[in-house]
């Protein structure tokens, strides 16, 4: 009995302690959660294609799934720079309570930029852009702004005069009992890109070999190609540019032993080049000369050709909150015979149809009437099946499509990397 009384008394003291200490703590926690939830509801709603890293580093906004729920939507574009890196541009457009507010920010990465270097620049750029929007929300009182003095304020001269050189080599080897394949390619390039000039030189070599064992018979496929090209363009104004391209090369697939072409041209962009990351409508006209030496006699009984050719290409690109369009239409023909022509179209369309619903379409098609290099001799079955030689055709096409639908909570702030990337965790970086 004494033991039971003692135990009962101990339990009563424990329960009293729990009531007097723990319960108030739980109440404080609940109150804290309610306060945090109120702050979260007051946060700026942002719509953009984002990553887990951005959600962690910029936690003072709500990442919503549908553009209609956003106070600001962010469009992201990128284009290569003369150094071999990329320029990333962010278009911040306000709507709803922030209608009329917009801004454009960008940063540049170097060709040897690490993932961490890119992520830091991305976060700093977006934080700067979002501040004028966050300043109009109740969360502004929790924001502190600091300034880090740059290490140096001097700019050293560029000993390379904007020239960038790059070399690469790639190889691939695979096989099994009845199949072996290898592929090797190499590339050298030099480029100088400024506001006034765009100059590119490149060379590449490719070789590919495959072997197939079918019963007692072995089929072998081998192809090789090499080329060197140059592009020189001079800016005349914010809408006009003039330049030309030059190419020499050979290709076993195209029956080309040796060939070269020179194609000067002139281009007009309806929109200023300064807006190229957001929209382009370019018209390019080129005309020039081609010299071809064929490996085998062609269907026109030629072993070499001197050809004059011209082409007209129109390209349209636009990025808007409803999606994006990227398409081009090109026509080309030989001047000695206008029936030897080629008309091709390529395009990609991404549409946001409704809340959580988006559609994408891509594809291209060509009407082909200019295959002057086709081999006259009949192709063997292995050359046809293994695509070692170009075959006659008067058209080609490809297409792709996709549909995405997402529903549920409009907020998308939480990052949880447990058990890998399933459910949106992991270390995936979305390169806009």
82, 110 contact by CB (below 8 A): no
Confirm whether 423 is domain-assigned.
Answer: no
Question: Of 108, 125, 140, which marks where a domain is finished?
Answer: 140
Question: Of 125, 140, 155, which marks where a domain is finished?
Answer: 140
Using DSSP bridges, classify how beta strands 44-47 and 72-80 pair: parallel, antiparallel or unpaired.
parallel
Closest CA to 180 of 168, 192, 172: 172
What are the φ/ψ torsions at residue 406 (nearest 5 degrees)? -130, 140
Confirm whether 224 is domain-assigned.
Answer: yes
Residues 208 and 316 in one domain: yes
Confirm whether 201 is domain-assigned.
Answer: yes
124, 108 contact by CB (below 8 A): no
367, 330 contact by CB (below 8 A): no
Residues 129 and 208 in one domain: no
Name every residue whose Cβ is closer than 8 Å to that of residue 26 and which is 6 or more positions away in sequence. Answer: none
Q: Report pLDDT for 402.
A: 92
> Any alpha helices (H) in 73-223, and if so which ranges?
115-134
Residues 136 and 174 in one domain: no
Confirm whether 146 is domain-assigned.
Answer: no
Residues 221 and 108 in one domain: no
Residues 216 and 291 in one domain: yes
377, 371 contact by CB (below 8 A): no
Extract the runs of DSSP E, i.e. beta strands, from 95-162.
102-109
Confirm whether 31 is domain-assigned.
Answer: no
What are the φ/ψ torsions at residue 28 (nearest 5 degrees)? -65, -40
What CATH number has the domain bearing residue 319?
2.40.160
Model pLDDT for residues 255-300, shown as the tens digit of each residue:
999 999 999 999 999 988 877 777 889 999 999 999 999 999 999 9
Q: What is the dihedral of CA 380, 370, 204, 252, to 10 degrees?
A: 20
Residues 121 and 188 in one domain: no
Confirm whether 422 is domain-assigned.
Answer: no
Kind plus residue range of the DSSP H or E element containing 347: strand 337-354
Residues 53 and 173 in one domain: no
Using DSSP bridges, classify how beta strands 72-80 and 304-320 pair: parallel, antiparallel or unpaired.
unpaired
Helix (H, G, I), strand (E, B) or coil at 51: coil
Tell me the residue range of the domain where 380 lies.
163-393
Tokens of 248: 């020499």
314, 328 contact by CB (below 8 A): yes
Residues of the chain with pLDDT under 50: 1-7, 23, 25-26, 28-32, 151-155, 422-432
Closest CA to 103 of 139, 143, 130: 130
Q: Can you give the pTM of this predicted structure?
A: 0.67
**How far is 231 from 198, CA to CA, in rounded Å?**
8
Residues 78 and 203 in one domain: no
Q: Report pLDDT for 22.
A: 52
Task: Give the total number of structural domains in the chain.
Answer: 2
What CATH number has the domain bearing residue 49?
3.40.50.10070
**Torsion-angle region of residue 351: left (phi > 0), alpha (psi -120 to 50) or beta?**
beta
Residues 212 and 253 in one domain: yes
Confirm whether 24 is domain-assigned.
Answer: no
Model pLDDT for residues 31-66, shown as the tens digit of each residue:
445 555 566 778 888 998 887 778 888 888 888 878
Residue 281's DSSP bridge partners are: 316
Using DSSP bridges, classify how beta strands 44-47 and 61-63 pair: parallel, antiparallel or unpaired.
parallel
Confirm whether 168 is domain-assigned.
Answer: yes
Residues 117 and 61 in one domain: yes
Residues 179 and 290 in one domain: yes
Residues 279 and 130 in one domain: no
Task: Count CB-CB contacts under 10 A for residue 144.
Answer: 4
């Amino acid at each position: 009995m004494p033991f039971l009384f003692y135990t009962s008394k101990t339990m009563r003291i424990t329960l009293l302690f729990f009531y007097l200490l723990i319960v108030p703590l739980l109440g404080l926690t609940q109150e804290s959660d309610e306060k945090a939830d109120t702050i979260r509801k007051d946060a700026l709603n942002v719509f953009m294609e984002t990553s887990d890293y951005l959600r962690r580093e910029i936690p003072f906004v709500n990442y919503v799934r549908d553009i209609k729920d956003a106070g600001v939507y962010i469009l992201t574009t990128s284009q290569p720079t003369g150094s071999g890196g990329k320029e990333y541009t962010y278009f911040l457009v306000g709507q709803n309570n922030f209608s009329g507010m917009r801004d454009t920010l960008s940063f540049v990465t170097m060709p040897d930029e690490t993932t961490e270097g890119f992520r830091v620049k991305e976060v700093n750029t977006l934080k700067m852009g979002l501040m004028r929007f966050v300043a109009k929300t109740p969360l502004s009182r929790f924001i502190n702004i600091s300034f880090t003095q740059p290490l140096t304020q001097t700019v050293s001269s560029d000993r390379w005069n904007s020239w960038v050189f790059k070399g690469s080599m790639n190889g691939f080897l695979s096989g099994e009992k009845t199949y072996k394949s290898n592929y090797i390619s190499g590339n050298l390039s030099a480029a100088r890109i400024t506001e006034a000039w765009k100059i590119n030189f490149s060379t590449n070599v490719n070789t590919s070999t495959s072997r197939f064992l079918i019963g007692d018979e072995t089929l072998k496929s081998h192809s090789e190609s090499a080329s060197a090209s140059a592009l020189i363009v001079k800016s005349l104004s914010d809408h006009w540019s003039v330049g030309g391209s030059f190419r020499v090369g050979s290709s076993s697939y195209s029956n080309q032993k040796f060939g070269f072409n020179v194609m000067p041209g002139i281009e007009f962009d309806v929109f200023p080049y300064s807006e190229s990351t957001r929209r382009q409508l370019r018209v390019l006209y080129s005309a020039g000369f081609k010299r071809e030496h064929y490996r085998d006699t062609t269907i026109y009984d030629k072993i070499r050709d001197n050809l004059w050719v011209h082409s007209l290409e129109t390209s349209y690109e636009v990025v808007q909150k409803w999606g994006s369009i990227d398409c081009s239409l090109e026509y080309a023909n030989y001047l000695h015979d206008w029936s030897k022509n080629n008309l091709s179209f390529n395009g990609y369309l991404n549409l946001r149809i409704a809340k959580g619903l988006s559609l994408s379409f891509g594809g291209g098609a060509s009407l082909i009437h200019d295959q002057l290099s086709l081999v006259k001799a009949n192709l063997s079955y292995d050359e046809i099946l293994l695509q070692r030689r170009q075959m006659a055709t008067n058209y080609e096409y490809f297409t792709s499509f996709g549909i995405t639908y997402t529903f549920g909570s409009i907020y998308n702030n939480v990052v949880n990397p447990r058990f890998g990337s399933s459910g949106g965790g992991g270390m995936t970086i979305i390169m806009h």
